[in-house]
Every structure is written in structure tokens, then in C-alpha cells.
């Protein structure tokens, strides 16, 4: 009767040992961790965007622009505008802005610059020849304004940006309106910004600048859409023909405005 017990214990022990051997043989070393993908080069992505814009001889796009009141002279409320922009390099640009204030247009045809306020039925035209870059600089120096989103339509789009960027950092990937985008953080002395660039087309999709030198850190926000970098635009699209019922007025220069302000203070 007792002869079966040692055999039973031996059988159990053998099965346990066999199980241990088999299970030990099936163990595999842990799989190596997947390599961490290196973040894209932020500076290279930014350069690609500028290059893509510069290579488009004719282009069109739309944008929604939001400006906080502190970024506009004399404004007490923020302004949002729907923009349509046409560009024909090296000399021509046309932009249309629709906001609560009305509809405003700017035409740059390589010889003249014209502004038209559709609501007030007034316009101003000044002779100003040169490339887009030269005209934008002259408008800023003489009249204190530039065409909407001028930094993105210059013949050398990076020229206006580069001096203001101290560092560029890659912060991730997002989808905006169904478009995969690289997101960059740009830091500067006056403002910091976030920029979304289309991963496939290298075009700007969103731009948010926060101005550190203004009280309350006001922001400029731009959402870009409807890019066409292979547009076909006739020169006539940039020629301004004032409506018959529109009144011509003078375009005030900065030096004239400052002189009037100085006289007012002295009085």
C-alpha cells in the first residue's frame, strides 16, 4: 500500500520540474524599447516655410485676424477681420479686410498705393514705386502702417521676422482644420509667438503673437486658409479704380501728424 505514495510524489515532483523547465525555456528577454524619434529641427521648418512663400510668384489666401485693443492706436475694443490677400511678386499686392468697422481695401500696383474705405466712400492714392519689400518699408516709415499680414507676402518673407526671433523651439504636432501641422514656439525681446506650419505644404496655418512690452500682454491671432501658391493673377486685379461716388482725401504722413500733435501740445 505504501509503495504507491513515493511514486505519486515522484510523479508530482517530475511534473513540477518539467513545468519549470518548459516555462523557463519559453521566457524571452524583454523587447527593446522603441527608439524615440528625434524632434524635427524647428529652425529648418521655419526656413522651409519662408522658402515656400518666397518661391510662389503669385499666390492668394484668406485669413481671420484678431487684434486686441492695445495693439491699435485709439482703439477701446478688440477687432476681428476677415482678410483676402492677392500677391503678384515682385511688386503687387491687394488686400480686402471686412470687420465691424466696414470694408477696407489696399492696392499696390508697383507704381501707386491706394486705400479705399467702402463704408465711408473715401480713398487716398500716393505714388510709391518699388518692390513689395521697398513699398512696405516706405509705408511704415512715411505713413505708419503696412498692408495686412505684410510679413508673409514680402519677396523675402523671413527678412521681417528674423531680427525679432531670439530662439525657435519645436513643441509638437497638431491637426488644425484637418491639416497636420508642426507647432513652433518663437521667443523674442518684444513678443513671443506660436506658429503652426503645415507638415505637407510648409505653409503657415496659425500664428499667435503675445506682446510682452504692452500692459496685459495683448495678442495678435491669425488663422490662415485657402492657400493657392500657383494662382494666375492679371495686373488689372491690382489696379484701383475709384468709384464715381467716392471722395479723394490725403494720406497723412507721420511727420505731418507729429507736427500737428506738437502744435496742439504747445497751445
pLDDT of 256 > 90? The answer is no
Rounded to an integer, the average pLDDT of 10-20 is 36
What's the full length of the chain, in residues? 267
pLDDT for 52-71, tens place per residue?
Answer: 999 999 999 999 999 999 99
Strands 247-248 and 122-127: parallel
> Which residues touch 86 (CB under 8 Å, ≥6 apart)?
59, 60, 93, 94, 95, 231, 233, 237, 238
More confident of the two residues 38 and 211: 211
Reported as a single tens digit per residue, the pLDDT across 244-253 is 999 999 998 9
**pLDDT tens string 97-124:** 999 999 999 999 999 999 999 999 999 9
Among the CATH numbers 3.30.230.20, 2.50.20.10, 2.70.50.60, 3.30.365.10, which is that of 42-253? 2.50.20.10
Backbone angles phi, psi at 90, to 5 degrees: -100, 5
Give me the pLDDT at residue 95, please.
97
Closest Cα partner for 81 from 94, 68, 97, 96? 97
DSSP at 35:
P
184 in Cβ contact with 42 (< 8 Å)? yes
pLDDT band at 150; cut points 50, 70, 90: very high
Residue 67 pLDDT? 95
Of 99, 168, 92, which Cα lies nearest the Cα of 132? 92
Percent residues over pLDDT 70 in the chain: 82
| pLDDT for the residue 33 | 56
Distance separating alpha carbons of residues 171 and 18, to the nearest angstrom: 54
CA 67 to chain centre: 14
Domain ranges of the chain: 42-253
pLDDT tens column, 152-167: 999 999 888 888 899 9
Place of cell 500692459: 215
pLDDT of 28 strictly over 80: no
Higher pLDDT, 141 or 31: 141
Strand order in the sheet with 179-187: 167-176, 179-187, 191-198, 204-211, 219-228, 58-67, 79-88, 92-99, 102-108, 112-117, 122-127, 247-248
Tell me how far CA of residue 63 lies from CA of 39, 88, 112, 266, in angstroms: 29, 18, 25, 43
Say which range, 60-64, 121-125, 238-242, 261-265, has the weakest mean pLDDT: 261-265
Q: Please compute the mean of the pLDDT values over residues 178-203 and round it to a whole number.
A: 96
The answer to whether 188 and 195 have CB atoms below 8 angstroms apart is no
In angstroms, how far apart are the furthest CA atoms of the chain?
A: 129
User: For residues 78 and 71, what is the distance between their CA atoms, to the nearest angstrom?
Assistant: 9
Amino acid at each position: 500500500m505504501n509503495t504507491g505514495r513515493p511514486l505519486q510524489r515522484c510523479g508530482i515532483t517530475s511534473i513540477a520540474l518539467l513545468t519549470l523547465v518548459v516555462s523557463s525555456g519559453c521566457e524571452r528577454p524583454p523587447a527593446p524599447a522603441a527608439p524615440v524619434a528625434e524632434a524635427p529641427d524647428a529652425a529648418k521648418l521655419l526656413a522651409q516655410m519662408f522658402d515656400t512663400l518666397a518661391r510662389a510668384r503669385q499666390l492668394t489666401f484668406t485669413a481671420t485676424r484678431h487684434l486686441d485693443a492695445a495693439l491699435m492706436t485709439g482703439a477701446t475694443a478688440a477687432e476681428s477681420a476677415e482678410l483676402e490677400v492677392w500677391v503678384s511678386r515682385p511688386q503687387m499686392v491687394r488686400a480686402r479686410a471686412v470687420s465691424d468697422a466696414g470694408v477696407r481695401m489696399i492696392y499696390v500696383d508697383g507704381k501707386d498705393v491706394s486705400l479705399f474705405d467702402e463704408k465711408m466712400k473715401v480713398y487716398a492714392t500716393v505714388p510709391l514705386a518699388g518692390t513689395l519689400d521697398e513699398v512696405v518699408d516706405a509705408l511704415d516709415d512715411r505713413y505708419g502702417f503696412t498692408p495686412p499680414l505684410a510679413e508673409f507676402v514680402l519677396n523675402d518673407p523671413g527678412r521681417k521676422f528674423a531680427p525679432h526671433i531670439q530662439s525657435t523651439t519645436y513643441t509638437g504636432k497638431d491637426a488644425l482644420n484637418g491639416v497636420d501641422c508642426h507647432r513652433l514656439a518663437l521667443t523674442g525681446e518684444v513678443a513671443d509667438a506660436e506658429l503652426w506650419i503645415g507638415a505637407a505644404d510648409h505653409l503657415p496655418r496659425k500664428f499667435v503673437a503675445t506682446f510682452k512690452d504692452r500692459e496685459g500682454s495683448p495678442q495678435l491671432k491669425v488663422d490662415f486658409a485657402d492657400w493657392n501658391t500657383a494662382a494666375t493673377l492679371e495686373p488689372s486685379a491690382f489696379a484701383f479704380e475709384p468709384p464715381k461716388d467716392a471722395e479723394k482725401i490725403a494720406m497723412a504722413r507721420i511727420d505731418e501728424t507729429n507736427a500737428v500733435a506738437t502744435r496742439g501740445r504747445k497751445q
